């Protein structure tokens, strides 16, 4: 099924899906309220007081996006809107995707199959390169392919380059030299990479690089399994998140970086966790199941996250 077919089928969706999805749209499209600098400052101050009284907020470095946790979607939406209005409709996004109130069960983290690239090439209009790597290369398979994303009267394209390996070490060398990087050595030595799931991904469009991502999935002792992802979005400014969660905590790494950790329980009773860190053009996350808190903290300490600040 191509995207046009999916677009056709999406016209059949129930109202509830449309309403829920619309509720997650970033604030930039909403109407802006203009106010004087003084008024804006007062609104911001009032917001800070309100936040301090009712929610948990992760403290963060100046460029780092903040995460605010609320008890109800309405509280999160109100705070996101107030924050958005106070800065002219920019800089915040209601990231309310983790809404426990809806009673949705969180799926278990399933060990993924190795990522095969060949079948994915059918998504593209033009394959520019497709090769299999050797042990010396460190990666298993790669492609560069292009798809026409023109729509209506606008001509555009999307060019993706993707490498797959059996460890992040096999694709780490592709990370742009001028962009801060992380130290994955402890991850690689203490945990077992789920083969064929360590990837480098780069997307270009008519404006140049749109994003670059390194990601991998690892197994630890027992049932511990998690994914690590580092993303770079040129030109992006990380936006604050407003989410509904009862279990958001903050952790300060050995090199002084504050990250947010959210925890919950999956449908089968497994411990689930998400680690968020967003700063400027860079985003880092870890999520998975059954990794004890102490181990997670040690792992976070090892990445050298301060390089991203």
Partner 1 sequence: MEDREIVSLFLERDERAVAELEAKYGGLCRRVAGNILRSQEDAEEVTSDAVFAVWRTVPSQVPKSLLAYTLRIARNKAITRLREVTRDKRSGEQDLTEAEPSVPDNAADSLEAAETARLINDFLHTRPEREQIMFTRRYFMGDEPGEIAKDLGVSPLRVSDTLYKLKQRLRQYLRERDVIV
String of DSSP letters for 253-293: -TTS-EEEEEEEEBTTS-EEEEEEEEETTEEEEEEEES--H
Instruction: Determine, following the binding rule CB under 8 A, whether residue 264 of this chain makes contact with partner 1.
Output: no
Q: Residue 154, Cβ neighbours under 10 Å: how many?
A: 8
Give the footprint of partner 1 on residues 140-199 (CB under 8 A): 151-154
String of DSSP letters for 83-95: HHHHTTT-SEE--
Site string for partner 1, 17-56 (x = CB under 8 A): xxxxxx-xxx--xxx-------------------------
Kind and range of the H or E run holding 44: helix 37-54
Q: Count the site residues for partner 1 by CB under 8 A.
A: 59
Instruction: Determine, following the binding rule CB under 8 A, whether residue 11 of this chain makes contact with partner 1.
Output: yes
Minimum separation from the CB atom of position 245 to partner 1 (A): 11
Q: Which residues pair with 18 in a beta bridge?
A: none
Instruction: Determine, following the binding rule CB under 8 A, whether residue 1 of this chain makes contact with partner 1.
Output: yes
Minimum separation from the CB atom of position 284 to partner 1 (A): 10
Instruction: Determine, following the binding rule CB under 8 A, whether residue 14 of this chain makes contact with partner 1.
Output: yes
CA–CA separation, 22 vs 19, rounded Å?
A: 5
Instruction: Determine, following the binding rule CB under 8 A, whether residue 99 of this chain makes contact with partner 1.
Output: yes
CA–CA separation, 286 vs 261, rounded Å?
A: 9
CA–CA separation, 28 vs 25, rounded Å?
A: 8
Minimum separation from the CB atom of position 136 to partner 1 (A): 27
Q: Which of 147, 186, 219, 236 binds partner 1 (CB under 8 A)?
A: 236
Which of 5/134 has CB closer to partner 1?
5
Taking CA atoms, 194 is separated from 100, 156, 188, in Å, by 29, 35, 11
Q: Is residue 91 a contact partner of residue 267, using CB atoms and an 8 Å limit?
A: no
Minimum separation from the CB atom of position 124 to partner 1 (A): 12
Minimum separation from the CB atom of position 267 to partner 1 (A): 10
- Report the interface residues with partner 1, using CB under 8 A: 1, 3-22, 24-26, 29-31, 93-95, 97, 99, 102, 104, 106-107, 120, 123, 151-154, 201, 203, 210-211, 213, 215, 229, 231, 233, 236, 239, 241, 243, 276, 278, 283, 285
């Amino acid at each position: 099924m191509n995207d046009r077919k999916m677009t056709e089928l999406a016209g059949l969706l129930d109202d509830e899906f449309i309403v829920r999805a619309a509720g997650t749209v970033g604030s930039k499209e909403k109407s802006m309220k203009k106010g004087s600098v003084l008024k804006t400052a007062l609104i911001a101050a009032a917001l800070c007081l309100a936040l301090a009284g009712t929610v948990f907020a992760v403290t963060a470095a100046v460029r780092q996006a903040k995460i605010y946790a609320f008890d109800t979607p309405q509280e999160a939406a109100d705070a996101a809107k107030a924050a958005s209005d106070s800065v002219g409709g920019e800089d915040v996004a209601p990231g309310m995707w983790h809404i426990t109130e809806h009673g949705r069960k969180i799926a278990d983290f399933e060990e993924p199959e190795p990522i095969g690239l060949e079948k994915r090439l059918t998504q593209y209009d033009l394959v520019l390169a497709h090769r299999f790597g050797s042990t010396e290369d460190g990666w298993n398979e790669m492609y560069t392919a292009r798809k026409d994303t023109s729509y209506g009267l606008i001509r555009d394209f999307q060019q993706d380059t993707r490498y797959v390996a059996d460890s992040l070490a096999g694709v780490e060398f592709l990370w742009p030299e001028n962009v801060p990087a992380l130290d994955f050595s402890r991850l690689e030595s203490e945990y077992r990479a789920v083969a064929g799931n360590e990837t480098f991904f780069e997307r270009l469009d008519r404006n140049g690089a749109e994003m670059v991502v390194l990601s991998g999935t690892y197994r630890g002792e027992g049932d511990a399994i998690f994914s690590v992802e580092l993303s770079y979005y040129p030109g992006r400014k990380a936006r604050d998140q407003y989410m509904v969660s009862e279990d958001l905590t903050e952790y300060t790494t050995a090199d002084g970086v504050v990250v947010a950790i959210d925890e919950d329980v999956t449908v089968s009773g497994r411990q689930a966790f998400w680690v968020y860190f967003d700063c400027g053009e860079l985003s880092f996350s870890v999520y998975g199941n059954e990794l004890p808190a102490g181990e997670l903290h040690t792992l976070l300490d090892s990445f050298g996250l301060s390089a991203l600040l």
